[in-house]
């Protein structure tokens, strides 16, 4: 099998109503990636996501640094191609951020082809056999721009739908207000439902210690991204002083950084993101490493990063998959299927990354 062409795309998709965390307000998501065609007629799709800006930079990396390296190659050499792209033209200017996100898209498209060529869903091609549907938690009831009443109403609606785990945002200027909001939700949902909080990197070490202390008695399953994602030392110091497990990984861009986090005992739950870490190839390495450290993996945004629903079926140390159901009809051909607070096992061949024809036409940025 040989790659005959690779074409980038950029989609700008409205999210419905505006959503906010401590770092940003979001009205659109960009899906930027590429389709790779082969001489056997099989086409693969890979993409990454931005919160509405920067997609054109990632697209430029794909077009100018990666596309020429792919033509004529066999997609089955995906791990070799990963090394060559990583140590190739992008190395001097990258290794984190836009270049790694672009490489994620390429790697995912190649694995999508491999799975489609085998006629199987990706999780089967990767040797996955985890039985049953996938446990999920929902983030869509907990935005920072929601009032306390909205938070409680939305949380109760999700519990009615069968959800047993929810996440909400923190990181307001007044940490005591964060405490009031989380306590109100905890009271409304009761003790049985798992509750996580996410500060989206807003705090410095002093604020994070204060926040953790105020939230300590609310039986939280984790505190996510309390601090800057490059600051391993501060996460270790915070982790030493709080009983709330620390979760992070959606902004960590290398296997080396994940190793150092785990080795430093600075993290308890790994949220490695296949669209940021460089694709499926390094994602599997991080998950295996976490398993050796006896650490659970809960990937970032399972329904937006469609591939995660496959990957969690492959690893023994998966716990919960995040979902943020923004749309009734999403832009994907094989949208993740949620039922009774679970994610149904994908059955279609490939990595579930193809977009609908309609989405490609309607949302395409020229
Ligand atoms: Mg997060």
Q: Measured in angstroms, how far is the CA atom of residue 301 from the centroid of ligand 1?
A: 8
For residue 221, pLDDT beyond 90: yes
Q: What does the block give as tokens for 3?
A: 């790659």
Q: Sketch out the chain's domains with CATH numbers.
A: 3-120+357-363 (3.30.390.10), 124-343 (3.20.20.120)
Q: What does the block give as tokens for 133?
A: 């549907």
Which runs of E-coded beta strand occur in 191-250?
194-198, 222-224, 246-248
Q: Measured in angstroms, how far is the CA atom of residue 198 from the centroid of ligand 1?
A: 6
d(CA 321, CA 96): 24
Look at strands 134-138 and 342-343 and give their pairing. Answer: antiparallel
Q: Measured in angstroms, how far is the CA atom of residue 201 from the centroid of ligand 1?
A: 9
d(CA 218, CA 214): 9
Residues 306/353, Cβ–Cβ less than 8 Å:
yes
How confident is the model over 161-183, as pLDDT tens digits?
999 999 999 999 999 999 999 99
Q: Measured in angstroms, how far is the CA atom of residue 199 from the centroid of ligand 1?
A: 8
Residues 238/227, Cβ–Cβ less than 8 Å:
yes
For residue 124, pLDDT beyond 80: yes
Q: Measured in angstroms, how far is the CA atom of residue 197 from the centroid of ligand 1?
A: 9
- Find all residues with CB under 8 Å of 156, minimum gap 6, and list them: 188, 189
Q: Whose CA is closest to 210, among 221, 219, 199?
A: 199
d(CA 203, CA 205): 6
Q: Measured in angstroms, how far is the CA atom of residue 12 from the centroid of ligand 1?
A: 21
Q: Measured in angstroms, how far is the CA atom of residue 363 from the centroid of ligand 1?
A: 25
Describe the crossing of helices 205-215 and 175-189 by its angle, rounded to 10 degrees.
Answer: 30
d(CA 56, CA 187): 44
Look at strands 246-248 and 222-224 and give their pairing. Answer: parallel
SS3 state of residue 237? helix
* Per-residue model confidence (pLDDT) at position 129: 80
Q: Measured in angstroms, how far is the CA atom of residue 302 from the centroid of ligand 1?
A: 12
Q: What does the block give as tokens for 329?
A: 């009809």
Residues 222/196, Cβ–Cβ less than 8 Å:
yes
Q: Whose CA is closest to 362, among 25, 45, 47, 31?
A: 31
Query: Exposed, middle or buried by CB within 10 Å (0-12, 13-18, 19+), for 305?
Result: buried
Query: What is the average per-residue pLDDT within 312-316?
Result: 95
Q: Measured in angstroms, how far is the CA atom of residue 168 from the centroid of ligand 1?
A: 10
* Per-residue model confidence (pLDDT) at position 132: 87
d(CA 184, CA 274): 34
For residue 131, pLDDT beyond 80: no
Q: What does the block give as tokens for 359?
A: 């989405």
Residue 156's pLDDT band, with cuts at 50, 70 and 90, is very high
Q: What does the block give as tokens for 20?
A: 């906010």
Q: Measured in angstroms, how far is the CA atom of residue 114 from the centroid of ligand 1?
A: 30
Residues 309/134, Cβ–Cβ less than 8 Å:
yes
Neighbours of ion ligand 1 (CB under 5 A): 198
Mean pLDDT of the chain: 96
For residue 130, pLDDT beyond 80: no
Inter-CA distances, 358 with 9, 243, 331, Å: 14, 48, 8
Residue 282's pLDDT band, with cuts at 50, 70 and 90, is very high
């Amino acid at each position: 099998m040989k790659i005959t062409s690779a074409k980038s795309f950029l989609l700008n998709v409205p999210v419905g109503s505006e959503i906010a965390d401590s770092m940003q307000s979001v009205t659109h998501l960009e899906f930027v990636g590429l389709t790779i065609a082969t001489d056997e007629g099989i086409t693969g799709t890979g993409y990454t996501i931005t919160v509405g800006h920067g997609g054109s930079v990632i697209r430029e990396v794909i077009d100018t640094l990666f596309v020429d390296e792919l033509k004529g190659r066999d997609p089955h050499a995906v791990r070799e191609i990963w090394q060559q792209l990583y140590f190739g033209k992008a190395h001097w200017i990258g290794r984190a951020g836009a270049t790694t996100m672009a490489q994620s898209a390429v790697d995912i498209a190649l694995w999508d082809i491999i799975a489609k060529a085998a006629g199987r869903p990706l999780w089967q091609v990767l040797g996955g056999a985890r039985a049953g549907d996938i446990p999920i938690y929902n983030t869509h009831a907990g935005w920072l721009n929601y009032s306390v009443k909205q938070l409680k109403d939305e949380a109760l609606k999700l519990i009615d739908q069968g959800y047993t785990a929810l996440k909400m945002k923190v990181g307001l200027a007044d940490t005591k207000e964060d405490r009031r909001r989380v306590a109100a939700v905890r009271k409304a949902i009761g003790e049985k439902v798992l509750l996580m909080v996410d500060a989206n990197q807003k705090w410095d070490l002093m604020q994070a210690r204060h926040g953790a202390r105020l939230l300590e008695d609310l039986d939280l399953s984790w505190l996510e991204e309390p601090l800057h994602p490059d600051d391993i030392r501060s996460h270790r110091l915070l982790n030493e002083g709080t009983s709330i497990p620390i979760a992070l990984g959606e902004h960590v861009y290398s296997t080396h950084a994940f190793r150092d986090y785990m080795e430093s005992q600075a993290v308890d739950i790994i949220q490695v993101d296949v669209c940021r870490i460089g694709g499926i190839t390094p994602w599997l390495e991080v998950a295996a490493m976490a398993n050796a450290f006896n650490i659970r993996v809960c990937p970032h945004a399972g329904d937006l990063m469609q591939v995660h629903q496959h990957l969690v079926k492959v690893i023994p140390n998966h716990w919960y998959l995040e979902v943020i159901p923004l749309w009734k009809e999403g832009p994907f051909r094989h949208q993740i299927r949620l039922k009774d607070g679970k994610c149904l096992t994908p059955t279609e061949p490939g990595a579930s990354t193809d977009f609908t024809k309609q989405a490609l036409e309607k949302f395409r940025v020229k």
